[in-house]
């Protein structure tokens, strides 16, 4: 039998060899192994990148043709196209709100942030990608089909006339031009009195329509060149404000204890620079009346062809009337019909109560009787002249 050579060391297993190493040697060896593995990994990734094996070539989305087809839809070329498209889109949006209100609300809000007429249409078109293949989408399409069928079933010949009868009168056509000419003055008065310009204009509309149709032939001479007609007996200016009403407006501005008081910031908007204005002679009820001092100054304000003070007094009357009702516990700040009625009837008829009523002077236009309050309200909510007098969020500041 072969004997072991005592000078040759015995072979040890890797594990036994590892156990005999010091902690420092083990740490160094682990570091070398990890570093080698990281290097090997980096080299491997580099080789894969260079050979193009890892490249993602992508692909064409299955909805590509649908998205591209948007260009083939009806092109919007003029304002009529925009109007028709918007109406159709809002119908579609209302139907979408029935099945996916979250998306309908998002699209509606987003459409308000852009002037693009195609914005809402494009958003609805994009949403339709996900409406085609689910049960909610099928319900949406069914509703749209029913709406389209309804439009085809009831297709009356549209009227060229305004739905509001008195707005088809010839006087209204000219009055719109006159209001546009005076728009800057009305807006200036609105800023001074804290009342929206559209409400001041509504009172002017009521007064001018009343004048035009009560003295049609006489007033035509004034409305012919598109200027607001002016009263000169008992009531003055383009809004027919009486002297004693204007005087009460001035007193209400200064009296903090008055239920009509508008607030300190408005106290001085009608102050007079001087009372030494001479004498003004007017004819009232066929009698010569001499006015002097503040009374003469007030008359000149109301009868001025500039019309600014007529609008300022109108704004004050509206604001003071609103404050009277507010102080009594009744809010009419969002009721143009009531405010126009009370402007027409005067302070003496303004009696706060829980059930205000629209009315005022009867005005005959085209054989039909209206009240001052209704005509003012008609204009306010008609959309007419919205480019000049935009619809307000709040009527009073």
The string of pLDDT tens digits covering residues 308-363 is: 999 999 999 999 999 999 999 999 999 999 999 999 999 999 999 999 999 999 99
In a domain, 105, yes or no: yes
Q: For the ranges 115-119, 192-196, 339-343, which has the lowest average pLDDT?
A: 115-119
Q: For the ranges 260-269, 295-304, 377-386, which has the lowest average pLDDT?
A: 295-304
Q: What are the C-alpha distances in Å from 169 to residues 153, 209, 220?
A: 33, 10, 13
In a domain, 156, yes or no: no
Mean model confidence pLDDT for the chain:
83
One domain for residues 103 and 245: no
Among 137, 139, 134, 112, which residue's Cα sits nearest to residue 123? Answer: 112
Segment 13-40 shows an average pLDDT of 73
One domain for residues 119 and 197: no
One domain for residues 125 and 175: no
Q: According to the model, what pLDDT value does residue 88 have?
A: 86
Q: What are the C-alpha distances in Å from 272 to residues 255, 377, 396?
A: 17, 33, 25
Q: Are 314 and 204 in contact (CB under 8 A)?
A: yes
Q: Which domain holds residue 190?
A: 165-380
Copy the structure tokens of residue 137: 């989408």
| Position 12 pLDDT exceeds 60 | no
In a domain, 57, yes or no: no
The string of pLDDT tens digits covering residues 28-40 is: 777 787 777 887 7
One domain for residues 125 and 173: no
Residue corresponding to tokens 């719109």: 176
One domain for residues 139 and 195: no
In a domain, 207, yes or no: yes
Residue 149's pLDDT band, with cuts at 50, 70 and 90, is: very high
Q: How many domains does the chain have?
A: 2
In a domain, 58, yes or no: no
Residues 193 and 314: their CA atoms lie apart, in Å, by: 9
DSSP 8-state secondary structure symbol assigned to residue 50: H
In a domain, 123, yes or no: yes
Show contacts of 357-364: CB within 8 Å, 24+ apart: 360/206, 361/210, 363/206, 363/209, 363/210, 363/213, 363/214, 364/213
One domain for residues 142 and 289: no
Q: What are phi and psi of 333, to 5 degrees?
A: -65, -15
One domain for residues 322 and 359: yes
One domain for residues 136 and 180: no
Residue corresponding to tokens 């910031």: 265
One domain for residues 237 and 112: no
One domain for residues 209 and 287: yes
In a domain, 132, yes or no: yes
282, containing H or E segment:
strand 279-284
Calculate the CA dihedral of residues 181, 187, 188, 189 and round it to 10 degrees. 100
Among 368, 306, 309, 363, which residue's Cα sits nearest to residue 340? Answer: 363
| Position 221 pLDDT exceeds 50 | no
Length of the chain equals 397
In a domain, 6, yes or no: no
SS3 readout for 3-25: CCCCCCCCCCCHHHHHHHCCHHH
Q: According to the model, what pLDDT value does residue 120 have?
A: 84
One domain for residues 109 and 242: no
Segment 125-129 shows an average pLDDT of 85
One domain for residues 328 and 376: yes
In the chain, count H helices and then E strands.
16, 6
């Amino acid at each position: 039998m072969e004997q072991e050579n005592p000078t040759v060391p015995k072979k040890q297993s890797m594990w036994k060899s590892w156990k005999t190493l010091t902690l420092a040697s083990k740490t160094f060896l682990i570091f070398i192994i990890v570093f080698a593995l990281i290097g090997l990994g980096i080299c491997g990734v580099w080789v894969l990148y260079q050979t193009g094996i890892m490249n993602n070539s992508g692909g064409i989305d299955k909805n590509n043709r649908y998205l591209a087809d948007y260009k083939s839809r009806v092109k919007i070329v003029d304002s009529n196209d925009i109007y028709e498209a918007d109406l159709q889109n809002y119908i579609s949006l209302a139907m979408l709100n029935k099945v996916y209100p979250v998306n309908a609300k998002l699209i509606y809000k987003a459409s308000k942030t852009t002037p693009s007429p195609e914005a809402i249409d494009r958003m609805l078109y994009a949403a339709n990608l996900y409406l085609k293949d689910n049960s909610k989408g099928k319900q949406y399409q069914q509703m749209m089909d029913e709406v389209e069928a309804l439009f085809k079933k009831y297709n009356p010949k549209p009227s060229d006339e305004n739905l509001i009868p008195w707005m088809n009168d010839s006087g209204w056509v000219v009055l719109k031009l006159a209001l546009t000419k005076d728009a800057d003055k009305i807006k200036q008065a609105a800023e001074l009195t804290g009342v929206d310009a559209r409400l001041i204009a509504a009172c002017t509309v009521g007064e001018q329509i009343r004048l035009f149709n009560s003295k049609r032939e006489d007033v035509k001479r004034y409305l012919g060149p598109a200027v607001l007609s002016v009263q000169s007996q008992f009531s003055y200016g383009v809004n027919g404000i009486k002297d004693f009403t204007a005087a009460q407006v001035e007193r209400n501005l200064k009296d903090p204890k008055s239920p009509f008081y508008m607030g300190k910031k408005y106290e001085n908007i009608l102050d007079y620079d001087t009372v030494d204005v001479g004498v003004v002679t007017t004819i009232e009820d066929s009698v010569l009346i001499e006015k002097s001092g503040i009374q003469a100054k007030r008359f000149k304000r109301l009868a001025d062809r500039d019309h600014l003070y007529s609008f300022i007094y109108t704004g004050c009357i509206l604001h003071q009337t609103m404050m009277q009702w507010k102080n009594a516990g009744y809010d009419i700040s969002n009721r143009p019909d009531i405010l126009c009625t009370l402007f027409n009837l005067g302070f003496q008829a303004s009696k706060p109560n829980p059930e205000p009523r629209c009315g005022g002077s009867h005005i005959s236009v085209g054989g039909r009787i209206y009240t001052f309050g209704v005509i003012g309200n008609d204009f306010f909510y008609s959309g007419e002249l919205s480019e000049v007098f935009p619809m307000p969020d709040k009527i009073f500041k």
